[in-house]
Chains A and B, each alone.
Chain A
Amino acid sequence: MRLSQGAPGARVLAFGGYQPADVVTNDDLAQRIETSDEWIQSRVGIKERRIAGPQESEIDLAVQAGGKALAASGLSSSDIDLVIVASCTLEAQIPNAAGRVAHRLGIEAPGAFDVNAACAGFCYGLAAANDAVRAGSATNVLVVGTEKLSQWVDWDDRTTAVIFADGAGAAVVGPSDTPRIGPVAWGSAGDKSDAIMVKDRNSFLQQEGQTVFRWATTALHPVAKAACERAGVDPAELAAFVPHQANLRIVEAIARKIGADNAVIARDIVLAGNTSAASIPLALSRMIERGEVPSGGLALLLGFGAGLTYASQVIELP
């Protein structure tokens, strides 16, 4: 038996992001539930979020973001031979999302699978893409995080309705002569599986806010530091820190603890809300678009969420 021939390393060629058109402000939410702009901004840091209407599915969002990443990468759909979609909010689990997204983007007969690691999903998908390119299982990979959380949120529950939103983000990963995606540091805490959950197919998403906040602000900075260490990168060298956009207070608490003193901290949650697996590539695509982070700079990604699951890696920015 022969082994496949992989590439010495892999890199992200481009990011793409997409949000639905409908803006929902905090004042809009305050008309329906007992909350206020001040309350939401001080607790979670969100000013507004985007919500997809009934005509726009999580597959549609993924196609938009994936198409943008593909266009920005300079590759054509025929160059992609693996599609990975990270999502925890599919309306239906069968068939998977990756095959449908690939077909809509004109990518013919790629490997296609979904990843459910909730808000950590994009980092898990990116790690799988990196490994596939290095092992020779794939040449170029499209990784998409897409979420339509609005269809799993009880809009009368003020503990979740103010947080979650819809969106998608994507990355194209291809071969590189040198490693430009670092080793992943990942893990899970199944003992806390009740902390964020949808109990059954007729239930809404529920979250134990204090438990998740405590876990996120105490257990995750060592994971981010481990990702830096495994990549041989000093946190002071980082140009960007892009954690999952769960809550601005969590983002800032983790940022303080990792010593990324020269990094731009992603605060995309302010205008995007918490979009789970989409939040990291969505934030990065905008930071790149606005010229906030340098091409070739190092970015530390940290995904974490229901499961509980977490994953972190350093990448070189496209």
Chain B
Amino acid sequence: MALTEQEILAGLGKIVNEITGIPANEVTPEKSFVDDLDIDSLSMVEIAVAAQDEFGVEIPDDQLKHLKTVKDVINFIQA
């Protein structure tokens, strides 16, 4: 069964918090990882690897660079 947006958002919030220390409730769909959350490219790789473990969806590096917002990642995982 596919995960809901809320479930993925909650999981991403936890992952971002573990990797960057940013409070999970600041991770909302419209936020840009780089511009709003100030997350760098290497932390994005760590987030992608952790998201793969959590949701079973691989996010390759060539895709990762197109995922700007939290919503983009949610959509990618749901697709």
Chain A interface (Cβ < 8 Å from any Cβ of B): 42-43, 208-211, 213-214, 217-218, 247, 249, 253
Contact = CB atoms under 8 A, between A and B. Distances in A.
Contacts, number: 27
B41 interface: yes
A210 B41 contact: yes
- The binding surface of chain B is classed by DSSP as helix
A217 B46 contact: yes
22 contacts: A42-B40, A43-B42, A208-B61, A209-B41, A209-B42, A210-B41, A210-B42, A210-B44, A210-B45, A210-B61, A210-B64, A210-B65, A211-B61, A213-B45, A214-B45, A214-B48, A214-B61, A217-B45, A217-B46, A217-B49, A247-B42, A249-B42
Interface in B23-65: 40-42, 44-46, 48-49, 61, 64-65
Nearest to A208: B61
Contacts of A214: 45, 48-49, 61
Contacts of B44: 210
Interface residues of B, number: 11
Contacts of A209: 41-42
Nearest to B42: A213
Contacts of B61: 208, 210-211, 214
Interface of A is mostly: helix
A42 B38 CA distance: 12
A217 B40 CA distance: 16
A213 B61 CA distance: 10
A253 B65 CA distance: 22
A247 to B, nearest CB: 8
The listed residue with most B CB atoms (<10 A of its CB), out of A208, A209, A214, is: A214
A247 B42 CA distance: 11
A218 B49 contact: yes
A175 to B, nearest CB: 43
Given A210-B42, A217-B46, A249-B42, 20 more contacts: A42-B40, A43-B40, A43-B42, A208-B61, A209-B41, A209-B42, A210-B41, A210-B44, A210-B61, A210-B64, A210-B65, A211-B61, A213-B42, A214-B45, A214-B49, A214-B61, A217-B45, A217-B49, A218-B49, A253-B46
Contacts of B40: 42-43
Nearest to B61: A210
A247 B43 CA distance: 13
A253 B46 CA distance: 10
Nearest to B46: A217
A113 B40 CA distance: 42
Contacts of A247: 42
Contacts of A210: 41-42, 44-45, 61, 64-65
